[in-house]
Amino acid sequence: MNPRLPLVLFAAALLGGCATKDYVNEQIAGVNKRVDGQQAETDARFGKASGQYQSLETRLGSQQAALDGASRTAQEALERANAAGKLAAGKFLYETTLTSQIGFDFDGSALNAAAKQALDDFAAQIKADNRNVYIEIQGHTDSSGPAAANLRIGEQRAEAVRRYLAIQHGFALHRMNVISYGETAPIADNKTRAGRAENRRVTLVVLQ
């Protein structure tokens, strides 16, 4: 047997072992690189999701702050519009009321000059804001007379407002809804004349 053969075989085995080790190291490095890349991508997605969550949380906080200042009937309007799929953003924007100074006579639904001017100003604001809004028009009465009659009068008052906004300002009818609360949502004491005048009103709730 050639005495150099074991040495040659040992050298070959050593070289093979080194080649195998280098190959394994290359494979490990490749895996580590892919893992690092996947981790970086995961971190980026998580960071984006975290930012979106914080943005959503901020918007929800702002919306809740707006709702905290809204009347009960405005919050109910938002719930109704969301349930009916009428809203793009599900947001409450603001509400405005035709008060006693520009409101309605007892048992009446006709708009006086002051009410029309208030609605002109309201329409101008809506157009200036240039938003795709949805408006719930709520009719209210005082507690004089039967509850059923008051529901009817409240609806007539709200309908008078919707008709004016549609005819005079071109508001789309499908972007407005009318509802009557009758005497069920007073904002003043029905035992006084001034209180009853306050309760004879129409509130416009603006949603988006």
Domain layout of the chain by residue ranges: 1-68, 71-207
pLDDT band, very low/low/confident/very high, at 96 (cuts 50, 70, 90): very high
Determine if the pTM surpasses 0.75: no
User: Average pLDDT, whole number, for the chain?
Assistant: 81
| pLDDT band (50, 70, 90) for residue 167 | very high
Q: Is residue 124 helix, strand or coil? A: helix
Highest mean pLDDT among 62-66, 69-73, 134-138, 193-197: 134-138
CB 202 within 8 A of CB 98: yes
Mean pLDDT of 166-186: 97
| Dihedral angle sign, alpha carbons of residues 116, 118, 120, 126 | negative
pLDDT at 39: 66
**Per-residue pLDDT, 104:** 72
**Residue % of the chain over a pLDDT of 70:** 66
For domain 71-207, the CATH superfamily is OmpA-like domain (3.30.1330.60)
Residue 101 has pLDDT above 70, yes or no: no
Bin 107: left if φ > 0, else alpha if -120 < ψ < 50, else beta: left
Sheet (strand 201-207) strand order: 92-98, 201-207, 134-140, 176-182
